A and B are shown apart, each in its own frame.
Chain A
Amino acid sequence: MPENRPSPARPRRLPVANQAALPRPTEVVLHRPTRLNRSLRVLRQNPLGAFGLMLILLLVVVGLLAPMLAPYGTNEFAGLPGQAPTMDFPFGTDKFGQDVFSRVIRGARISLQVGFIAVALGTLAGLLIGAWSGFKGGVVDVVAQRMVDTAIAFPQILFLLVIVRVMGPSMRNVIIAIAILIIPSVARIVRSAALVERNNLYIEAARAMGASDGRILLRHIVPNVAPIAIVVATTLLGGAILAEASLSFLGLGIPPPNPSWGNDINVARTTFPINVSAALFPGLAISLTVLGFNLLGDALRDIFDPRLRGR
């Protein structure tokens, strides 16, 4: 892992009352790297993270352009069922004679959609709950923390199964279930950041100027702890996509005719005669997606918050 270098110290202005009275120092031209240059350097120092980012960008493009890229229609009967890969069907065909390649491409769209929306919702809620709980302290904090403890103790897959079973399997409900699952992990980390943040002098200053709790929370605490929440969210995206795939595999996720990778593996498993390629490729797609998010998440965590490393 590359060493974490401290960022070059910025020149600070001297706290002098009348700066104009001082003789101006000779202008020193510093070559401050541009934003783009800096980003490129960060990428070079984290080749694995850069690779993860590329994987995800590729998948996002595939997901967005899915209808154009897929050679066959959504539930089109394309050829004989259960074929091994050929020129016409690079990933073979499934038990209904659909082109696995097209389904994998369309699956990217659904997977990413579920992952991004669920994590965005869950992170937003976790951010607000965590910041509030850390900022307010006292009873609010104790109650929120015990709820977080409870949620973390709850076996995840069972929680998802129960929620989706109760609400009925649909894309919306899968998103809600995964979002709820994410809240406690975000809330816990944001809370500890907010605990540190609330002791800063500028919070006291804001309070002295008569700012209300709500204003301090939303204008000062939340923006300052948000970067941590975003890093955590990235590390959770892979898990969210895995969760959707697992639910779909168990028949409680995205309802069947839709192209979901988890679903397709389940269909391939119960096909006879067995056609390995129909199970192999959707799984590879899941693995690459999750790998991309994991690599990117690890890199972001290393860059932004070395304290979180290894957790």
Chain B
Amino acid sequence: MGRYVIRRLAMAAMILWFISMIVFVLLRIGPGDPALLQQGINATPERIAQVNKEMGLDDPYVVQYLNWIKGMLTLDLGRSALTQTDTTDEFMERFPISLQLMVMTLVWTVVIGIPFGIVSAAKRNSAGDYTVRLFAILALSVPGFWVATLVLIIPVQQWGYAPPLDRQASLFSEPWANLRQFGPPSLVLALGPIASVMRLTRSSLLEVLRADYVRTARAKGLNERVIVLRHALKNSLIPVITVLGLLMGGLLGGSVIVESIFNLRGLGQFVYRAILQKDFNVAQTLVMYTAGVAVLLNLAVDLVYSLFDPRIRYA
């Protein structure tokens, strides 16, 4: 076990290092000068040089890279090249919003995806099974941004209703307004994950239901409900948990579009704006953060998985 953990940790560290290099290099090639963007087209060359100096953009790339890594490790994320706001502050402000969105998405995924997957497998080839499978394949084909757009504009056109978008409502002081803000985007975001989890729960449960010990349970006369829920379900959920971890990692990226459409001031919207405006300091840190969380989630899932199922360690 120890060796496996060490190997996985080393691999994760290497991947994170690769990603940091790629992000750093990618953002620095290509057109666009952050100092020019900040100062406007009429800025004098002297002013540009001064701004570059202030932001550390005239340092050698190696120094810039090391400073960036040091900043991330000491939780000092520097300043936005454009707005001059402190990135750490803005990050802290936006983080709870993205977190709430993700938690709600996860809740929808588990609460809707798993039960329907179970029903679909237990009542194989029934009308319910076909409905679930049809829904899943449709949900995986429909673009999230389209659904989000329709969810926003149809109520406006039909009933003149729009969720409160102008400011962020707090979950604690105005829970109702807050849920009206977060409900639709989290459901839209959960659409794909729900479909994946439904399909996976179904196929995984069907596989377990073919196992010998399930046949034994049937032979000794247990009723089907007990067999599925008490015996088969536990084993069939292991791959589902793995995929939930992967899906959550993907959500960080997926929230870019949904947060922008619903005007939620979360990290997704932040990173999108930073990339559009070539705000190096912010963009590289946020992309790194997103990738980092995905890698660590992946790692955590693998380690948990190997605890559940010792066969994995030796694979």
Interface-lining segment among A26-34, A117-125, A238-246 = A238-246
Contacts of B149 in A (CB 8 A): 265, 268-269, 279, 283
Cβ contacts under 8 Å, B271 to chain A: 158
Q: Does B257 contact A (CB under 8 A)?
A: yes
Q: A102 to B283: give the CA distance in the assembly, Å.
A: 38
A249→B276 CA distance, assembly (Å): 14
Q: Are B257 and A249 in contact (CB under 8 A)?
A: yes
Q: Does B287 touch A at the CB level, under 8 Å? A: yes
Give the chain B neighbours of A154 by CB distance below 8 A. 19, 22, 291, 294
Interface of A is mostly: helix
Interface readout for A150-177 with B: 1 if CB under 8 Å, 0 if not?
Answer: 1001111110011101111000000000
Interface locus among A187-195, A196-204, A288-296: A288-296
In residues 109-138 of chain A, which contact B (Cβ within 8 Å)? none
Q: Which of B18-69 contact A (CB under 8 A)?
A: 18-19, 22-23, 26-27, 29-31
Chain A nearest CB from B151 CB (Å) reads: 11
Contact, CB under 8 Å: A290 / B141:
yes
Complex CA gap A242/B140 in Å reads 10
B257 touching A250 by the CB < 8 A rule? yes
Asked if B143 and A283 make an inter-chain contact with CB atoms under 8 angstroms apart, the answer reads: yes
Chain A residues within 8 Å of B19, by CB: 150, 153-154
Q: Assess the A155–B275 pair: CB atoms within 8 A.
A: no
Check if A165 sits within 8 Å of B275, measured CB to CB.
yes
Contacts of B11 in A (CB 8 A): 146, 149
* A163, A166, A286, A309 interface centre (most CB from chain B within 10 Å): A166
Q: Is A15's beta carbon under 8 Å from chain B?
A: no
List the B side residues contacting A146 at CB < 8 Å.
11, 14-15, 18
Q: Are B276 and A165 in contact (CB under 8 A)?
A: yes
Contacts A162-B26, A163-B26 given; indicate if A153 touches B150 (C-beta within 8 A): no
Question: Which residue on chain B has the smallest CB distance to residue A291?
Answer: B141
Q: Chain A residues with Cβ under 8 A from B226's Cβ?
A: none
Enumerate chain A residues within 8 angstroms of B152, measured Cβ to Cβ: 269
Tell me if B83 is interfacial: C-beta within 8 Å of chain A: no
A214 at the interface (CB under 8 A from B): no
- Which A residue sits closest to B31, measured CB to CB? A168
- Please tell me if B145 contacts chain A, counting CB pairs below 8 Å: yes
Collect the chain B residues with CB atoms within 8 Å of residue A252's CB: 276
Say yes or no: is B165 at the interface (Cβ < 8 Å to chain A): no
The count of chain B contact residues (Cβ–Cβ below 8 Å) is 53
A-B contact pairs, 8 of them (CB 8 A): A146-B11, A147-B18, A155-B250, A265-B145, A279-B150, A283-B146, A309-B203, A310-B203
**Does B178 interact with chain A (Cβ within 8 Å)?**
no
Judge if A54 is at the interface, Cβ distance under 8 Å. no
Report if B272 contacts A (CB, 8 A): yes
Residue of A nearest to B145 (CB): A249
B254 CB contacts on chain A under 8 angstroms: 157
Chain A residues positioned under 8 Å from B26 (CB to CB):
162-163, 166
Q: Are A150 and B22 in contact (CB under 8 A)?
A: yes
A287 adjacent to chain B (CB < 8 Å): yes
3 interchain residue pairs of minimum CB distance = A155-B253, A283-B146, A166-B30
Chain B at the A interface: mostly helix, strand, loop or mixed? helix
Interface size on A, residues (CB 8 A): 47
Whether B275 and A158, one on each chain, are in contact in the complex, defined by CB atoms closer than 8 angstroms, is yes
Please tell me which one of the listed residues A168, A246, A280, A291 contacts residue B137 in the complex, with CB atoms under 8 A apart.
A291
Output the least CB separation between B280 and chain A (Å).
11
A57 in the interface (beta carbon within 8 A): no
- Tell me, rounded to whole Å, the shortest Cβ–Cβ distance linking A234 to chain B: 14
In chain A, residues 253-294, which have Cβ atoms closer than 8 Å to a Cβ of chain B? Answer: 262, 265, 268-269, 273-276, 279-280, 282-283, 286-288, 290-291, 294
Q: Which of B107-115, B153-161, B182-190 contacts A (4 or more CB under 8 A)?
A: B153-161
For A273, give the chain B residue with the smallest CB separation: B157
Least distance between A145 CB and chain B CB atoms (Å): 10
Given A166-B29, A283-B149: A291 touches B18 (CB 8 Å cut-off)? no
Known: A165-B275, A276-B157, A294-B140. A157 touches B146 (CB 8 A): no
Partner of A250, one of B253, B260, B290: B260
CB–CB B146/A279 < 8 A: yes
User: What's the nearest-Cβ distance from chain B to residue A95, in Å?
Assistant: 13
Q: Is B87 an interface residue (CB 8 A)?
A: no
| B5 contacts chain A at the CB level, 8 A cutoff | no
Chain A residue nearest to B156 (CB atoms) is A274
Q: Contacts of A295 on B, CB cut-off 8 Å?
A: 137
Contact call B30/A276, Cβ cutoff below 8 A: no
State in angstroms the CA–CA spacing of A129 and B76 once bound together.
39
Say if the beta carbon of B303 comes within 8 Å of chain A.
no
A268 to B146, CA, bound (A): 11
- Residues on A with C-beta less than 8 A from B22 are 150, 154
- How far in angstroms is the closest Cβ of chain B from A8? 25
